[in-house]
Amino acid sequence: MRAAVTGVTGYVGGRLVPELLAAGIEVRAVSRNPSRLAGRPWVDDVETVEADVADLDAIRAALEGADVAYYLVHSLGTGRTFEARDRRNALTFARAAREAGVGRIVYLGGLYPDVPEGDLSPHLASRKEVEEVLLASGVPTAVLRAAVILGSGSASFEMMRYLTERLPAMTTPRWVENRIQPIAIRDVLHYLVGAARMPADVSRGFDIGGPQVLTYRDMMQCYARVAGLPPRVIVKVPVLTPRLSSHWVGVVTPVPSGIARPLVESLVHEVVCDDKDIERYVPDPDGGLTDVAGAIELALTRIHDGEVTTRWSSASVPGAPSDPLPTDPDWSGGSLYVDERRTVVEAPRDVLWQVIEEIGGQDGWYSWSLAWRFRGLLDRLAGGPGLRRGRRDEHRLRIDDAVDFWRVEALEPGRRLLLRAEMRLPGLAWLELRVDESAAEVTDPGDDGPHPDDAAGGERTYFAQRALFHPQGLLGQAYWWSVAPFHGIVFGGMQRNVARAAEHRAHDATPS
């Protein structure tokens, strides 16, 4: 079976491709800009085609020979332009699929209530119209209707994440009491893959949802519990219109107002599955559907692995559907604050690595020692380990070793050391020290270390250092901004002094 997937660089499409491949389905990835797929581990396992769903000839050629075509293209916006664009694109795709002889269309739409025409939000009304266009295409079509999708990178999930993390107390519109039936992204993908093999005589819509029906208030409180935050104080008020609510979301969260507004407008409706007919054709996944707490926990687990990135959305292709993708928007994945410093060190790689591997313990942290001792004292007063643990070995490190109030989370000898903070913090923190390319390969203006002309015969090495902090709630936000002014002294001093120590060692080891 061969599947053509549109919207392959989007939130759902990018996660669907590896699931289809795992199910033994050949994939043709259809994108307006296939170059955006570069770097994906599966890109060599799929056929890539450049086509725009608005271009009839191009999309028809892209669908030739496909047994199933996934339509995962949506617009989010305000006004009527996005509705007209979605209508035109759906009509073009429907005609192209019919003329190309596609066996089935699979469309992921929005779950909407049974209300009089004109009462639906523009966002849901457009999704319903696209559904109707595709069902009338003459090609057997499976429409999967989902409400809030829970997973890192989902716009609905990110909006809830930021509201819950940043506001310990909030006033909310009346829709906070509306019932919804959210679904985990992994379960959405399970249904999408299964829909490809539905019988040819099945052409209809299906409601898909998780195992729980709850209010938006309950969902935020569930997020708080899973994230380790205190219960949120939520006060419902009758005066916040969808327009005011979207502006409020725009102030509190980094979700753009052009995305927040249609999502907020859709929350005025209760969206609960009317049936579960999908089970007749696609059984539930092994172990059952994921509940809300489980889906939230999966969306947050990326924070705890050793591959910390500058922002969650810059991570590599995920090992699980809940992980972030490179094409997720910049504002997705929660807050991750970064202090990054780089310099060129005139010393061999092995000498610089030796200094890095011996950091902490008796050698200290190569910066303002009084500040480190004071921070260690505060940590002990708060019940943390402080600086009293030292190191197991003064010269070598292993994964899971304690280094003062840090723990070795990742270690690539000669290249990278990642330390996870174990001091008491309102969030999660890491310190990454890295030995990178030689100076000849680096064009970096951050060359701020001393460079003795005779150090190690002029050999130079690239030293990168990052401090990363994922805040927990409003207190975590306040903590980061309160200590940020001192980073130049603490981390800047560490950068310079580690470089000096490596250069002095290299100089002392050079025959006179």
Confidence (pLDDT) at 302? 53
pLDDT band (50, 70, 90) for residue 386: confident
Confidence (pLDDT) at 242? 60
Q: Tell me which of 3.20.20.70, 3.30.200.20, 3.60.60.10, 3.30.530.20 is the CATH number of domain 337-509.
A: 3.30.530.20
pLDDT band (50, 70, 90) for residue 305: very low
Asked if the domains at 2-314 and 337-509 fall in one CATH topology, the answer is no
Question: How far is 83 from 426, CA to CA, in rounded Å?
Answer: 43
Range in 16-25, 29-38, 199-208, 258-267 the model is least confident about: 258-267
Confidence (pLDDT) at 62? 96
The percent of the chain in helix, strand and coil, each rounded to the nearest 5, is: 40, 20, 40
Q: What is the tens place of the pLDDT at every residue in 272-289?
A: 998 899 999 999 999 899
Of 390 and 252, which is predicted with more confidence?
Answer: 390
Question: How far is 109 from 122, CA to CA, in rounded Å?
Answer: 13
Q: Which residue has the tokens 């099945």?
A: 202
Range in 326-335, 360-369, 489-498 the model is least confident about: 326-335
The mean pLDDT of 318-340, rounded to a whole number, is: 59
Q: Which residue has the tokens 């490190």?
A: 397
Average pLDDT score, the chain: 82
Confidence (pLDDT) at 248? 66
Thinking of the domain 2-314, which architecture would CATH place it in? Answer: 3-Layer(aba) Sandwich (3.40)
Are 166 and 252 in contact by the 8 Å Cβ rule? The answer is yes
Of 323 and 124, which is predicted with more confidence?
Answer: 124
The mean pLDDT of 220-233, rounded to a whole number, is: 91
Residues forming a β-bridge with 434? 416, 464
pTM: 0.70
Confidence (pLDDT) at 193? 97
Q: What is the tens place of the pLDDT at every residue in 416-461?
A: 999 988 888 888 888 999 998 643 333 333 444 444 343 444 567 8
Instruction: Give the number of C-alpha atoms closer than 13 A to the C-alpha of residue 261, restricted to the C-beta side.
Output: 12
Range in 60-74, 205-219, 376-390, 437-451 the model is least confident about: 437-451
pLDDT > 90 fraction of the chain, expressed in percent and rounded: 37
pLDDT at 35 over 80: yes
Confidence (pLDDT) at 65? 95
Of 310 and 71, which is predicted with more confidence?
Answer: 71
Question: How far is 28 from 84, CA to CA, in rounded Å?
Answer: 27
pLDDT at 82 over 80: no
Range in 396-410, 453-467, 479-493 the model is least confident about: 453-467
pLDDT at 17 over 80: yes
Q: In what order do the strands lie in the sheet with 337-345?
A: 337-345, 461-471, 427-438, 416-421, 406-412, 402-403
DSSP states along 287-342: T----HHHHHHHHHGGGGSS---SSGGGS-S-SSTTS--TTS-TTTT---EEEEEE
Confidence (pLDDT) at 180? 92
Q: Which of 393, 366, 218 minimizes the C-alpha distance to 293?
A: 218
Return the domain boundaries, the chain: 2-314, 337-509
The mean pLDDT of 230-253, rounded to a whole number, is: 73
